[in-house]
């Protein structure tokens, strides 16, 4: 199915706007393509939902709502969402295209990171999550696969497709577990409240993995791993990394606490604690913030925190203080990292600060060194003046109008004049493309401006005729040098035969920029397809594409909510562009309360649920026959399937 979908979409233009060029990635919910936004002439990442999900009305509604929420986020560490829409059966999301690699790819290559490197990577991740949390959005699937690393060192969190507004969070709907099992918070497994602390847990597990080179909980099956998240604490990283700084160990331990109340309150609190450890923040008490007070009251077994005038530290034989990125101080002396701020698992060296500067100043060679330094500095200054010192930076004038550029150069002490005028399909007419020289120049020098003459203009040819087809019209326009959409524009023409070429948009004879899209107009009209059994969300996209007005009538039926159960006219009836089709949309079957069968035997629970009209599927793990929980819980549509988890140890 994957390859078939790729063959269909590659080379196609979705929604008359996004030209699909190649496939980037494929996942459980969607396939991501590299595409060109023809309207804005830019590269985008186009995330196309799988067809079976696009037919689910509930999923479509949630997808659209979440896309709107995430699109409001604008942060340098979050991949921007530009647009959302549908084209027939294809439901898509247009996002910022970020070339690079995932954190998972780098982890596979490196294995693990030194403490300072791990904190440096988690910092921008938490910064992006903090912005989302502040906007009331929970990611719910934080993992290395959803962290992108660009070649120039930027870090971006991607795929908020599972996010939902915090105001709507609560027990996971119908017992559905959303997320990746290795990073699931206990409350995601047990059906508890999924809020920002769920993301904090996943980020803590990801930091644990970067530090140790492995995942904290593993098992023979996803259910076994989920069971460990609920019933076992995440081990301390110090158990696997002998020279782990105590404050980092305690911070990871707090972030991965099974009790959400003992974690940092959100990604912002977690971020301030990380920056306090890195010595790069302005809040050195971040570790004893909202979560530190709870932890200090008795976090973990035999643990606790002792105040030491800086960040929090584990009580014990030494008291630790984060000190301006110099290492950490204990009652045994200073700890200086051998490799980087936190070292490379090579341990720490302790001892007093050495008066290196004092010994050097009183050296017998002081006079010789001072004279040599003066000579080197003098030669360096002279060489710098000849090579660069006499030059002054030019103001940036590319992209400005010629008048504004000349004004800016005069204000900076330079002359200016127009050089050649060049046709350019990307720079507007009259704007500056480049300067000569560029970067720096001697004060008073005359700067030559290369100015855009605008895009090449081409007269649109006539493409209609008795033998004209859409394919021949597109070929004729492209041979003229125009940019042409591969998807024709459907138009209504009285008396014209359906499928014939009616002209172009803009019309023939128009002088048109070579880089702007031209559409071939095709006479619309078709046989009405069978809409019954499809979601109203998907059919709304189809109707918009084909210029059909939907008359929606709501009614109760055995179909799920949002599914069409009747239509008028019947399938196969002719419908023209601008016509109206009446669809009857199900408001859903009646909901039936699900009894609490926890503690009963599986057979008792099965009989009780079947009497209420439910389908029952049992999933067992362990040796016992006792019901642990059901999914969903609370209530469900009559006739739906209830999964009964039973067993135990």
Residues acting as catalytic residues: 141
Sign of CA dihedral 72, 74, 75, 77: positive
> Which residues have CB under 8 Å from 58's CB, separation 6+?
560, 561, 562
Q: What span, in angstroms and rounded, lies between the C-alpha atoms of 118 and 344?
A: 11
Coil vs helix vs strand at 640:
coil
| DSSP per position, 118-148 | HHHHHHHHHHHHHHHHHTTEE-S--SGGGEE
The Cα 647–Cα 649 span in angstroms is: 7
Task: Round to whole Å and give the CA distance between 482 and 161.
Answer: 37
Residue 101 tokens, joined:
């690699």
H/E element holding 13?
strand 13-14
3-state secondary structure of 232: coil
> What's the CA gap between 215 and 233, in Å, rounded?
13
CA distance 298 to 311: 17
Residue 16 phi, psi dihedral angles, 5° rounding:
60, 20
Host H or E run for residue 435: strand 432-436
> Residue holding tokens 């996010």?
163
Spell out the alpha helix ranges (H) of 24-149. 51-54, 57-71, 103-110, 115-134
Q: Per the omega criterion (within 30 degrees of 0), is the bond before 569 cis?
A: yes
Sequence-distant (≥ 6) Cβ neighbours of residue 90 within 8 angstroms: 9, 14, 48, 49, 51, 54
Among residues 84, 79, 118, 116, the alpha carbon closest in space to that of 100 is found at 79
Spatial CB neighbours of 592, under 8 Å, sequence gap ≥ 6: 612, 613, 614, 635, 636, 637, 638
Q: Whole-angstrom Cα distance, residue 466 to residue 569?
A: 33
Give the CA distances from residue 308 to residues 27, 258, 568, in Å, rounded to whole numbers and listed in that order: 48, 27, 76
Backbone angles phi, psi at 91, to 5 degrees: -100, 125
> Is the alpha carbon torsion for 92, 95, 97, 102 positive or negative?
negative
Number of alpha helices (DSSP H) and beta strands (DSSP E) in the chain: 17, 38
Using CA atoms of 284, 288, 289, 293 in order, give the dihedral in degrees to the nearest 10: -170
């Amino acid at each position: 199915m994957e390859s078939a979908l790729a063959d269909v979409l590659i080379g196609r233009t979705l929604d008359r706007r996004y030209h699909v060029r190649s496939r980037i990635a494929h996942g459980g919910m969607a396939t991501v393509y590299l595409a060109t936004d023809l309207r804005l002439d830019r590269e985008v990442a186009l995330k196309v939902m799988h067809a079976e999900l696009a037919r689910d009305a509930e999923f479509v509604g949630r997808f659209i709502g979440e896309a709107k929420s995430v699109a409001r986020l604008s942060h340098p560490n979050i991949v921007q969402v530009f647009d959302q829409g549908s084209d027939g059966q294809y439901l898509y999301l247009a996002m910022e295209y970020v070339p690079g690699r995932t954190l998972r790819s780098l982890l596979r290559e490196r294995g693990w990171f030194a403490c300072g490197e791990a904190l440096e990577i988690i910092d921008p991740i938490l910064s992006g999550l903090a912005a989302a949390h502040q906007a009331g959005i929970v990611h719910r699937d934080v993992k290395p696969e959803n962290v992108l690393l660009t070649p120039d060192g930027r870090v971006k969190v991607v795929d908020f497709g599972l996010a939902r507004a915090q105001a709507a969070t609560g027990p996971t709907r119908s017992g559905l577990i959303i997320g990746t099992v290795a990073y699931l918070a206990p409350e995601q497994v047990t059906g508890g409240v999924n809020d920002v602390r769920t993301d904090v847990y996943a980020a803590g597990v990801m930091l644990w993995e970067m530090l140790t080179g492995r995942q904290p909980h593993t098992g023979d099956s996803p259910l076994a791993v989920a069971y460990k998240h609920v019933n076992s604490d995440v081990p301390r990283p110090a158990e696997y990394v002998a020279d782990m700084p105590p404050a980092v160990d305690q911070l990871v331990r707090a972030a991965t606490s099974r009790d959400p109340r003992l974690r940092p309150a959100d990604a912002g609190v977690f971020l301030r604690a990380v920056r306090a450890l890195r010595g790069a923040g302005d809040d050195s008490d971040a570790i004893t913030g909202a979560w530190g007070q709870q932890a200090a009251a008795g976090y973990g077994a035999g643990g606790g925190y002792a105040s030491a005038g800086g960040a929090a530290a584990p009580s014990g034989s030494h008291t630790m203080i984060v000190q301006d990125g110099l290492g950490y101080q204990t009652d045994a002396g200073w700890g200086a990292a051998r490799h980087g701020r936190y070292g490379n698992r090579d341990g720490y060296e302790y001892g007093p600060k050495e008066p290196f500067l004092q010994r050097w100043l009183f050296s017998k060679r002081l006079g010789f060194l001072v004279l040599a330094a003066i000579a080197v500095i003098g030669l360096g200054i002279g060489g710098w003046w000849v090579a660069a010192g006499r030059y002054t930076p030019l103001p940036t004038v590319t992209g400005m109008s010629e008048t504004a550029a000349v004004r800016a150069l005069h204000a900076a002490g330079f002359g200016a004049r127009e050089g050649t005028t060049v046709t350019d399909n990307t720079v507007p007419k009259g704007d500056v493309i480049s300067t000569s020289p560029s970067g720096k120049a001697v004060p008073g020098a005359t700067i030559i401006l290369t100015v855009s003459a605008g895009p090449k203009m081409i007269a649109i040819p006539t493409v209609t005729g008795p033998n004209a087809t859409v394919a021949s019209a597109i070929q004729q326009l492209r041979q003229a040098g125009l940019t042409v959409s591969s998807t024709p524009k459907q138009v209504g023409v009285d008396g014209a035969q359906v499928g014939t070429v009616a002209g172009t948009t803009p019309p023939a004879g128009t002088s048109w920029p070579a880089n702007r899209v031209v559409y071939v107009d095709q006479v619309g009209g078709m046989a009405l397809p069978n809409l019954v059994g499809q979601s109203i969300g998907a059919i709304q996209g189809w109707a918009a594409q084909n210029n059909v007005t939907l008359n929606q009538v709501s009614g109760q039926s055995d179909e799920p909510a949002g599914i069409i159960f009747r239509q008028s006219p019947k399938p196969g009836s002719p419908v023209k562009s601008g016509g109206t089709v009446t669809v009857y949309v199900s408001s859903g079957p009646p909901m039936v309360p699900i009894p609490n069968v926890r503690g009963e035997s599986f057979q008792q629970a099965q009989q009780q649920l079947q009497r209420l009209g439910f389908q029952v599927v049992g999933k067992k793990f362990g040796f016992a026959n006792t019901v642990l929980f059901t999914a969903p819980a609370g209530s469900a549509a009559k006739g739906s399937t209830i999964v009964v988890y039973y067993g135990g140890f």
